[in-house]
Structure 1
Amino acid sequence: MSDPRLWIFLSNNKNCIITAYSDSDWAACPDTRRSVSGYIVLMGDNIICWKSKKQTTISLSSAEAEYRAVRNVVGELVWLEILMTELHGQLQKGLIQLHHKPTEEQLADVLTKSLPSSKQSIILYKLAVNYSPPT
């Protein structure tokens, strides 16, 4: 999804609630059978970090691939909590909660699999990723 015309809109909304989405595409690589994991972390309406990467080991099931994807985003969230604490942020302990999201609401899909352009456009819209005007 590399396109130099894409840009991220940053809102000035005061909402600082951190929300994370993670997903995996089990055995996505036809040569190695390794899965692809991806996550997106938002603070309020703003994307603050994202990552998509082939997993380092082969997952024996889609559940194992999803577990590895969740582990990656939880590591990122722990790091963000430490950062926020160092920056005197007001994080509450025990804030991490896991919730299932149906595929229609899964924003991390854009990082893990090839999507029809209509679904990709919907996800990019929800993430406030826009095309820059031509120069």
Structure 2
Amino acid sequence: MVQTNKLSKDDSEALKDNTQYRKMVGKLLYLTFTRPDICFAVQQLSQFLDKPTILHLQAVHRVLMYIKSCPGQGLFFPTDSNLKLSGFADSDWAGCPDTRKSVTGFCVFLGNALVSWKSKKQNTISRSSPEAEYRALALAACEIQWLYYLLEVLEVQLGEAAILFSDSKSVIAIAENPVLHERTKHIEIDCHLIREKVQRGVIKLLHVPTEHQTADILTKPLQPLLFHRFVSKLGLHSMYTLA
């Protein structure tokens, strides 16, 4: 997606017939099961199914052009990967120009293999950037806990806490502080959830610089160089490229 443009519901003339738009976005939604690199773009485009505009259709065509340029790209699962969970959680505060809701993005790896990812608009409006980041962190923590349960059913013992990276030092400080301050009472449930996972040894929180925050690709449009760097970090490879 174009980094400087943020799609909104009334940004241009509405399409007279939205059938084609709906069909293309519906097919792209299925493709996100194996292509996390288009997950954010499709999440954005799917919000305008009821009344798409000309600019929305142009954005769909841009995604299709990108897919056409790399048709064989997909997830790669190495055989020598270790069985250790790690993840990245991030958010784009007030990223939606229509509702001012934030966008959550997270990705979870089992060893070097990407096994879970999500780009989703948050249900409520966050009053600060740390609050939006904390909600993203809580969602990622729940996903990691679910993966722990799944691996237990498969009789896979991990034996150590999953590493969860965040580029917000204030969020990590809130998670490690047992005292709930006035400014954190409205996210008290998320605070308790994260602290419980940390205390039980399910996750371990670590800070990561923003330029190395892999989940950024799931929260906002990025410049091409940074976009392709994160695509590589997600473990996406083209079957047409020699190893």
Q: TM-score, normalised by structure 1?
A: 0.92
Residue identity in the other structure for 1:104 = E
Instruction: Specify the alignment match of 2:146 in structure 1.
Output: 79
- The answer to which of 15-24 and 2-11 deviates more is 2-11
Instruction: Specify the alignment match of 2:158 in structure 1.
Output: 91
**Residue 20 of structure 1 pairs with residue 87 of structure 2:** yes
Per-residue deviation, residues 64-98 of structure 1 (Å, max 9, x unmatched): 00000000000001111111111111133614101
Deviation at 1:14, TM superposition (A): 3.8
Instruction: Specify the alignment match of 1:49 in structure 2.
Output: 116
Instruction: Specify the alignment match of 2:214 in structure 1.
Output: 107
Poorly superposed stretches of 4+, deviation over 4 Å: none
Q: Secondary structure at the match of 1:99?
A: strand
Residue identity in the other structure for 1:91 = L
Q: Secondary structure at the match of 1:60?
A: coil
Instruction: Specify the alignment match of 1:121 in structure 2.
Output: 228
| Percent identity of paired positions between Structure 1 and Structure 2 | 43
Larger relative contact order, structure 1 or 2 (CA cutoff 8 Å, min sep 6): 1
Gaps (5+ residues) in structure 2? 1-36, 39-66, 160-199
Taking only aligned residues, the RMSD between alpha carbons, in angstroms, comes to 1.6
**Residue 62 of structure 1 pairs with residue 129 of structure 2:** yes
Q: Work out which of the two has the higher radius of gyration on C-alpha atoms and give 1 or 2.
A: 2
Structure (1/2) with the larger helix percentage: 2
Distance 1:14 1:132, change over 3 A: closer
Structure (1/2) with the larger strand percentage: 1
Kindly tell me the number of residue pairs found equivalent between the two proteins: 134
- The answer to which of 85-94 and 44-53 deviates more is 85-94
Alpha-carbon separation, structure 1, partners of 2:105 and 2:239:
24
| Alpha carbons 2:83, 2:158 under 8 Å: kept | no
Matches within 5 A, 1:32-47: 32-47=99-114
Q: Secondary structure at the match of 1:108?
A: helix
Per-residue deviation, residues 74-126 of structure 1 (Å, max 9, x unmatched): 00011111111111111336141011111111000000010001001111112
Residue identity in the other structure for 2:119 = S
